[in-house]
Chains A and B, each alone.
Chain A
Amino acid sequence: MDLRPGLKKPQGGDCPLVGGVPVATHAPGSLKQTCVNDAFVKFSGIQKTYDGETLVVKNLNLDIAQGEFLTMLGPSGSGKTTTLMMLAGFEVPTQGSILLGGRSIGGMPPHKRDIGMVFQNYALFPHMTVEENLAFPLKVRKLGKPEIEVRVKRALDMVRLGVQSKRRPGQLSGGQQQRVALARALVFEPNLVLMDEPLGALDKQLREEMQLEIKHIHDNLGITVVYVTHDQGEALTMSDRIAVFNDGVIQQLATPAELYERPQNPFVAQFIGENNRLNGKVIALNGTTCTVEIPGAGNVQALAVNVEMVGRPTVLSLRPERVKLNPTPGSLPNVFSARVAEVIYLGDHVRVRMSVGGRDDFVVKLSNSEGVAHVEPGAAMTVGWRAEDCRALAAS
């Protein structure tokens, strides 16, 4: 199972050793940003344009720690693949530098970088068997035959594909091809593995299975993984940290929980999880909270995340599952009357679309355990939420 017994993932979230001395320690689960001084991968001031007119990547600064699982998440066309390709050496940054293990890899050709890579369509060599595909990076490195055999077998066992070793990629299912691609990217024991939407072509069940499998392999080998996806669920499941990309810019870089609980701007709030957006204007700032006037609805108490001054437009972000139906009067600062417009039954939960304050796209998620029988289209009721659950973000 263990491809590289010599290199264990740093335990308990330790920072990588620099010169044998731990640089900093912090509690598990806390941000790894604290040890970015010694980043394993460091993008600084990266810009990229293909046509000389539009910037596909705009001033990217990103530090990735050794052993980290970092995901670049963003809609299609946001520059994720381009960023990955610059790290792999297939695209040249228009400006800025990339450091790998402290060394600039500016002019280094891809084959000297020792970076494993899993491509979206797997890029398995169709004219070679599974075994030959896996032996390819080892042959290039001029390893001896017995050594190659041992390593190929170990890698195949790791992805549970031992019996298929003599087949061609075309004779394998999508999931098996995916495993081969993964094994091939790992078999030469790179310290850094890049994956560009590796699970994009798989069905949902297989995808979820593979997510866990990749996660376990990462944990066992202690490799650094830079993972690209446009699927937020996948990013939340697997990552240590997520960099949310949009339009060539990192919108927010944080742990999955942080990203979901505390989105820093409307894009992130909208992209990660479901979200009610309420546009309004700040009319009062009082410390960590603020009062926002929503036209047609009234005033809302909200957490002031990034609103600078009174009078500015703002977007309130409210998660549907944080909304309470018919709260006890006086228990919540924000209570509004609402009318049920639509009820969608989803098994474990029920989505209720309501009209609140003249808008009818207000969504509430109710757990199926809460006795939702009384919620029927046309029913009038009140909805309420806490000020902390409603985040006032700068309108973009």
Chain B
Amino acid sequence: MATMATTAVQTSSVGVPLRITLQRVERRRKLRAFGLVLPLLLFIVIAFVMPIGRMMFDAVHDDTLLVLMPKTTAALSVWDGKDLPDESAYAALAGDLKEAWSQKTAGRIGERMNYELSGVASEVKSSARKASMLSAGPYKAAMIDISSIWGQREVWSLLKRGRSAYTAFYLLRSADFQYGPESQIVASPPENAIFRDIFLRTLGISIGVTAATLLLGFPLAYLLATLPARTSNLLMMAILTSFFTSVLVRTTAWVVLLQDHGLINETLMALHILSQPAELIFNRFGTVLAMTHIQLPFTLLPIYSVMKSISPSHVRAARSLGAGPFYAFWKVYFPQTLPGIAAGCLLTFILCLGYYITPALVGGPGDMMVSNFVATYTNEQLNWGMASALGAILLTATLLLYFVFNKLVGLDQIRMG
């Protein structure tokens, strides 16, 4: 019997092989599970994967010149870049500009060129207007006569780079590099080289806020986890109330408190501790303070929930084994809170990297973070390329940090609760 069972194909009661029956059942189960997550999957794809993919794409993709100046970019494919291009390129340029003038796209061309060579926008526009009045060639001298920019090699280099729909310009600019006159990569001039500072500032503020929330949150979490339930519930309510208040409200509350004629300065001056108002807001101090306030629960809650799960008998055991209160805490309790600390700090740090509203409201010009620039480029300058490049770098840096963190700490070590 035993050998029969192992050699013969097992069949279920109706004669279908057992393996097939199992597969059918499994398939039905899998389909049902998939059906359940389908709406979420669609939502994530539409609201998350596609916009982010698009943003990453926009960081390196720009076909403005290729589309709007097709003749010029095509004519420049044979240009060696040493001297000015020959007559045929100028003829193509005049043709493209005429077309642009009639299609009213000269403004866009000018703007695009202006990103890389500031000041050329108006020249391009007026050239288009004037070119539309040119009847016949030769065009080279005529164009240079219309605007001196057409006699500059770097302008032609820029147009030649426009042959490709893909450009590294935005990413380079985000790292304080740009293209030189011969399309070589050079450091940005000081007035453009602001982005490394911005990234470092964003990193610094995030680290500072994370550290501050940890310093404030850890003792509070410990208190919450060890107090009797009634008291700790009350405290928790207090923390969550501020958690549930909108970020905007809380940030403006800080403005009310900290401004020159705010509550704190008025009080200190009324008590004659200060003779003139201290600068508490619209600077780094105000930014970090308000962000710390907002982020505190994010750091605290994972630590708290991990602390809740640590059995009080561990510290008791340590005490009974001869450890003093501090030693027992440090060697037995604290190491067990590390997964919570890691989770809370990672959460706060990553959220800080993307902060926008708080620095905008309570920070000074020197406290703007990467997201503020992303917002400016999207909302005011309509420079999608720069916005996307900054966003893409921020996203990549965040993912990178996340993976480094994973290697060092191990995400399976993290416990959110």
Contacts and interface: CB of A to CB of B under 8 A. Distances in A.
Contact of B323 (A111, A114, A116): A111
Contacts of A284: none
Contact of A119 (B316, B323, B335): B316
B181 interface: no
Interface in B109-158: none
A110 interface: yes
A184 B335 contact: no
Contact residue range for chain A? 20 to 34
A121 B317 CA distance: 11
Nearest to B313: A123
Interface stretch (B194-202, B232-240, B324-332, B375-383): B324-332
A109 B328 CA distance: 13
Q: Chain A binding site: helix, strand, loop or mixed by DSSP? A: loop
A141 B313 contact: no
B313 A188 contact: no
Nearest to A127: B335
B317 A140 contact: no
Interface residues of B, number: 19
B324 to A, nearest CB: 6
A194 B320 CA distance: 10
Interface string B307-347: 00001011011111111110110011001100000000000
A232 to B, nearest CB: 25
A147 to B, nearest CB: 15
Nearest to A181: B317
A119 B313 contact: yes
B396 to A, nearest CB: 33
A114 B336 CA distance: 25
A181 to B, nearest CB: 8
A116 B320 contact: yes
Given A119-B313, A121-B311, A137 B322 contact: yes
Interface in B184-203: none
A322 B36 CA distance: 66
A336 interface: no
Q: Chain B binding site: helix, strand, loop or mixed by DSSP? A: helix
A90 interface: yes
B316 A123 contact: yes
A140 B327 contact: yes
Nearest to A116: B320
B314 A111 contact: no
Contacts of A395: none
A88 B315 CA distance: 13
Contact of B317 (A109, A113, A119, A127): A119
A125 interface: yes
A198 to B, nearest CB: 12
Contact of B336 (A88, A113, A120, A126): A126
A116 to B, nearest CB: 7
Contacts of A110: 316, 319-320
Contacts of B332: 125
Given A123-B311, A127-B336, A140-B322, A117 B327 contact: no
Contacts of A267: none
A271 interface: no
Contacts of B316: 88, 90, 110, 117, 119, 123
Residue from A89, A116, A120, A137 having most chain B Cβ neighbours under 10 A: A137
A125 B314 contact: yes
Nearest to B335: A127
A136 B336 contact: no
Nearest to B338: A127
B335 A90 contact: no
Contacts of B322: 111, 114, 137, 140-141, 188
Contact of A90 (B311, B319, B323): B319
Contacts of A116: 320-321
A121 B319 contact: no
7 contacts: A109-B325, A111-B321, A114-B322, A136-B318, A136-B331, A184-B321, A194-B320
Given A110-B316, A111-B321, A123-B316, 8 more contacts: A88-B320, A89-B320, A111-B328, A117-B321, A123-B313, A124-B317, A125-B336, A185-B320
Q: Which 3 A-B pairs have the closest CB atoms?
A: A137-B321, A123-B317, A123-B313
